[in-house]
Copies of this chain bind each other. A is one copy, B any other.
Protein backbone atom coordinates (compact mmCIF):
# COMPACT_ATOMS: atom_id res chain seq x y z
CA UNK A 1 0.00 0.00 0.00
CA UNK A 2 1.41 3.38 -0.95
CA UNK A 3 2.37 5.56 2.00
CA UNK A 4 1.95 9.26 2.73
CA UNK A 5 3.28 11.47 5.49
CA UNK A 6 0.57 13.98 6.36
CA UNK A 7 1.43 17.09 8.37
CA UNK A 8 -1.34 17.31 10.92
CA UNK A 9 -1.83 20.38 13.07
CA UNK A 10 -5.22 19.47 14.47
CA UNK A 11 -6.96 22.20 12.48
CA UNK A 12 -9.53 22.12 9.71
CA UNK A 13 -7.12 22.32 6.77
CA UNK A 14 -4.68 19.60 7.75
CA UNK A 15 -7.52 17.31 8.85
CA UNK A 16 -9.27 17.70 5.51
CA UNK A 17 -5.94 17.09 3.83
CA UNK A 18 -5.53 13.88 5.82
CA UNK A 19 -9.00 12.73 4.79
CA UNK A 20 -8.17 13.40 1.14
CA UNK A 21 -4.95 11.39 1.40
CA UNK A 22 -6.91 8.52 2.93
CA UNK A 23 -9.51 8.72 0.17
CA UNK A 24 -6.75 8.58 -2.43
CA UNK A 25 -5.70 5.24 -1.01
CA UNK A 26 -2.62 6.11 0.99
CA UNK A 27 -1.59 4.47 4.24
CA UNK A 28 -1.36 7.50 6.52
CA UNK A 29 1.59 8.46 8.72
CA UNK A 30 0.58 11.67 10.46
CA UNK A 31 3.21 14.04 11.79
CA UNK A 32 2.53 16.80 14.28
CA UNK A 33 5.08 19.35 15.29
CA UNK A 34 5.35 20.77 18.75
CA UNK A 35 7.16 23.94 17.80
CA UNK A 36 6.63 26.02 20.89
CA UNK A 37 3.18 27.29 19.98
CA UNK A 38 1.76 28.74 23.13
CA UNK A 39 -0.72 26.04 23.92
CA UNK A 40 -0.99 22.28 23.51
CA UNK A 41 -4.62 22.12 22.36
CA UNK A 42 -3.54 21.84 18.74
CA UNK A 43 -1.51 18.74 19.55
CA UNK A 44 -4.36 17.18 21.50
CA UNK A 45 -6.63 17.76 18.52
CA UNK A 46 -4.04 16.14 16.23
CA UNK A 47 -3.99 13.09 18.51
CA UNK A 48 -7.78 12.81 18.43
CA UNK A 49 -7.76 13.03 14.66
CA UNK A 50 -5.03 10.40 14.29
CA UNK A 51 -7.21 8.17 16.41
CA UNK A 52 -10.40 9.02 14.52
CA UNK A 53 -8.76 8.09 11.22
CA UNK A 54 -6.89 5.09 12.65
CA UNK A 55 -3.67 6.18 10.98
CA UNK A 56 -0.78 3.72 10.69
CA UNK A 57 1.37 5.83 12.97
CA UNK A 58 1.20 9.30 14.51
CA UNK A 59 4.41 11.01 15.57
CA UNK A 60 4.81 14.23 17.48
CA UNK A 61 8.22 15.81 17.10
CA UNK A 62 9.48 18.59 19.32
CA UNK A 63 11.36 21.49 17.79
CA UNK A 64 11.33 24.62 19.84
CA UNK A 65 11.10 27.47 17.34
CA UNK A 66 10.43 29.90 20.17
CA UNK A 67 14.21 30.17 20.67
CA UNK A 68 14.36 32.20 17.46
CA UNK A 69 11.51 34.58 18.33
CA UNK A 70 9.98 36.72 15.60
CA UNK A 71 6.42 35.38 15.65
CA UNK A 72 3.42 36.13 17.81
CA UNK A 73 2.68 32.40 17.88
CA UNK A 74 5.93 31.47 19.60
CA UNK A 75 7.49 34.65 20.99
CA UNK A 76 6.35 35.48 24.50
CA UNK A 77 7.35 39.10 23.94
CA UNK A 78 4.89 39.55 21.08
CA UNK A 79 1.14 39.61 21.53
CA UNK A 80 -1.24 37.42 19.54
CA UNK A 81 -3.87 39.88 18.33
CA UNK A 82 -7.08 39.26 20.25
CA UNK A 83 -9.22 40.58 17.44
CA UNK A 84 -9.30 39.86 13.78
CA UNK A 85 -6.67 42.07 12.17
CA UNK A 86 -6.04 43.16 8.67
CA UNK A 87 -2.65 41.87 7.53
CA UNK A 88 0.25 44.28 7.09
CA UNK A 89 -0.94 46.66 4.42
CA UNK A 90 2.24 46.52 2.34
CA UNK A 91 2.97 42.82 2.56
CA UNK A 92 -0.31 41.12 3.42
CA UNK A 93 1.56 38.96 5.92
CA UNK A 94 0.15 38.58 9.44
CA UNK A 95 2.12 38.82 12.72
CA UNK A 96 1.26 35.17 13.35
CA UNK A 97 3.65 34.22 10.54
CA UNK A 98 6.32 31.86 11.91
CA UNK A 99 9.64 32.29 10.07
CA UNK A 100 10.42 29.36 7.77
CA UNK A 101 7.74 27.23 9.41
CA UNK A 102 6.65 25.26 6.37
CA UNK A 103 10.26 24.75 5.29
CA UNK A 104 11.02 23.23 8.69
CA UNK A 105 7.81 21.17 8.72
CA UNK A 106 8.33 19.87 5.19
CA UNK A 107 11.98 19.05 5.94
CA UNK A 108 10.90 16.96 8.93
CA UNK A 109 8.17 15.28 6.88
CA UNK A 110 10.78 14.56 4.21
CA UNK A 111 13.05 12.84 6.74
CA UNK A 112 10.25 10.54 7.84
CA UNK A 113 9.06 9.99 4.27
CA UNK A 114 12.52 8.86 3.24
CA UNK A 115 12.77 6.40 6.13
CA UNK A 116 9.28 5.04 5.37
CA UNK A 117 9.80 5.00 1.63
CA UNK A 118 6.64 7.12 1.41
CA UNK A 119 5.94 8.58 -2.00
CA UNK A 120 3.91 11.54 -0.87
CA UNK A 121 3.80 14.34 1.66
CA UNK A 122 0.45 16.05 2.21
CA UNK A 123 0.39 19.64 3.47
CA UNK A 124 -2.81 21.58 4.11
CA UNK A 125 -1.35 24.82 2.75
CA UNK A 126 -3.98 27.20 1.52
CA UNK A 127 -3.22 30.34 -0.35
CA UNK A 128 -6.46 31.61 -1.75
CA UNK A 129 -8.53 32.54 1.23
CA UNK A 130 -6.44 32.76 4.28
CA UNK A 131 -2.81 33.05 4.87
CA UNK A 132 -0.76 35.47 2.84
CA UNK A 133 2.14 33.38 4.10
CA UNK A 134 4.98 33.18 1.58
CA UNK A 135 5.52 29.49 2.25
CA UNK A 136 1.99 28.59 1.17
CA UNK A 137 2.46 29.72 -2.43
CA UNK A 138 2.41 27.14 -5.24
CA UNK A 139 5.85 28.27 -6.47
CA UNK A 140 7.27 27.67 -3.00
CA UNK A 141 5.81 24.16 -2.89
CA UNK A 142 7.25 23.39 -6.33
CA UNK A 143 10.69 24.57 -5.19
CA UNK A 144 10.52 22.33 -2.14
CA UNK A 145 9.61 19.34 -4.25
CA UNK A 146 12.63 19.96 -6.44
CA UNK A 147 14.86 20.31 -3.39
CA UNK A 148 13.50 17.09 -1.91
CA UNK A 149 14.52 15.08 -4.96
CA UNK A 150 18.07 16.42 -4.73
CA UNK A 151 18.25 16.08 -0.94
CA UNK A 152 17.84 12.42 -0.35
CA UNK A 153 19.77 9.22 -0.67
CA UNK A 154 16.85 7.44 -2.27
CA UNK A 155 16.38 10.33 -4.67
CA UNK A 156 20.00 10.14 -5.81
CA UNK A 157 19.68 6.44 -6.33
CA UNK A 158 16.72 7.14 -8.59
CA UNK A 159 14.53 4.63 -6.77
CA UNK A 160 12.41 7.23 -5.03
CA UNK A 161 10.65 10.40 -5.97
CA UNK A 162 8.59 12.38 -3.54
CA UNK A 163 5.54 14.43 -4.39
CA UNK A 164 4.28 17.23 -2.15
CA UNK A 165 0.49 17.35 -2.34
CA UNK A 166 -1.35 20.51 -1.37
CA UNK A 167 -4.92 19.68 -2.40
CA UNK A 168 -6.38 22.70 -0.59
CA UNK A 169 -4.11 25.33 -2.01
CA UNK A 170 -6.77 26.96 -4.19
CA UNK A 171 -9.87 26.25 -2.11
CA UNK A 172 -11.76 28.69 0.07
CA UNK A 173 -12.29 27.82 3.72
CA UNK A 174 -15.93 27.09 2.96
CA UNK A 175 -14.95 24.67 0.20
CA UNK A 176 -12.45 22.99 2.53
CA UNK A 177 -15.11 22.52 5.21
CA UNK A 178 -17.61 21.10 2.73
CA UNK A 179 -14.97 18.75 1.34
CA UNK A 180 -14.04 17.63 4.86
CA UNK A 181 -17.66 16.91 5.73
CA UNK A 182 -18.13 14.88 2.56
CA UNK A 183 -15.17 12.80 3.69
CA UNK A 184 -16.72 12.17 7.09
CA UNK A 185 -14.69 14.47 9.32
CA UNK A 186 -16.12 15.30 12.72
CA UNK A 187 -14.93 18.90 13.00
CA UNK A 188 -15.69 18.99 16.71
CA UNK A 189 -12.39 17.12 17.07
CA UNK A 190 -10.40 19.95 15.48
CA UNK A 191 -8.86 23.05 17.05
CA UNK A 192 -8.05 26.34 15.33
CA UNK A 193 -7.95 29.16 17.90
CA UNK A 194 -4.73 31.08 18.61
CA UNK A 195 -5.98 32.17 22.02
CA UNK A 196 -7.99 29.42 23.73
CA UNK A 197 -8.91 29.61 27.41
CA UNK A 198 -7.55 27.14 29.93
CA UNK A 199 -10.22 24.62 28.99
CA UNK A 200 -9.17 24.87 25.34
CA UNK A 201 -12.33 26.72 24.32
CA UNK A 202 -11.79 28.96 21.29
CA UNK A 203 -12.12 32.73 21.65
CA UNK A 204 -14.11 33.31 18.46
CA UNK A 205 -12.27 36.55 17.84
CA UNK A 206 -8.68 35.91 16.74
CA UNK A 207 -7.61 35.63 13.12
CA UNK A 208 -7.79 31.88 13.10
CA UNK A 209 -11.30 31.78 14.63
CA UNK A 210 -12.36 34.52 12.22
CA UNK A 211 -11.47 32.46 9.15
CA UNK A 212 -12.92 29.30 10.63
CA UNK A 213 -16.25 30.89 11.48
CA UNK A 214 -16.40 32.72 8.17
CA UNK A 215 -15.80 29.41 6.42
CA UNK A 216 -18.63 27.66 8.25
CA UNK A 217 -20.91 30.62 7.62
CA UNK A 218 -20.17 30.73 3.90
CA UNK A 219 -20.71 26.99 3.72
CA UNK A 220 -24.13 27.54 5.31
CA UNK A 221 -23.12 25.45 8.32
CA UNK A 222 -22.50 25.92 12.00
CA UNK A 223 -19.19 25.18 13.66
CA UNK A 224 -19.70 22.35 16.18
CA UNK A 225 -17.14 23.84 18.60
CA UNK A 226 -18.30 25.48 21.80
CA UNK A 227 -16.91 29.00 21.87
CA UNK A 228 -15.90 30.83 25.01
CA UNK A 229 -18.26 33.68 24.29
CA UNK A 230 -21.74 32.96 23.14
CA UNK A 231 -22.43 34.91 20.03
CA UNK A 232 -18.98 34.37 18.64
CA UNK A 233 -20.15 31.41 16.67
CA UNK A 234 -20.70 27.74 17.12
CA UNK A 235 -23.44 25.83 18.82
CA UNK A 236 -26.71 27.38 19.72
CA UNK A 237 -26.57 29.85 16.89
CA UNK A 238 -28.26 27.79 14.28
CA UNK A 239 -28.52 24.36 12.85
CA UNK A 240 -25.71 22.01 13.54
CA UNK A 241 -24.40 20.39 10.39
Contacts and interface: CB of A to CB of B under 8 A. Distances in A.
A150 B156 contact: no
A181 interface: no
A102 B114 CA distance: 14
A152 B61 contact: no
A40 interface: no
Given A91-B153, A153-B99, A115 B63 contact: no
Contacts of A103: 107, 110-111, 147-148, 151
Interface string A111-144: 1101100000000000000000111010110011
Copies in the complex: 2
Interface residues on A, range: 35 or more
Contacts of A90: 157
B91 A115 contact: no
Contacts of A156: 91, 93, 134
A93 B147 contact: no
A151 B93 CA distance: 12
Q: Looking at chain A's contact residues, is the secondary structure mostly helix, strand, loop, or mixed?
A: helix
B65 A62 contact: no
A115 B134 contact: no
A241 interface: no
A226 interface: no
Given A69-B115, A99-B112, A143-B147, 11 more contacts: A63-B63, A65-B111, A70-B115, A100-B110, A100-B152, A103-B111, A103-B148, A134-B156, A143-B151, A144-B147, A146-B147
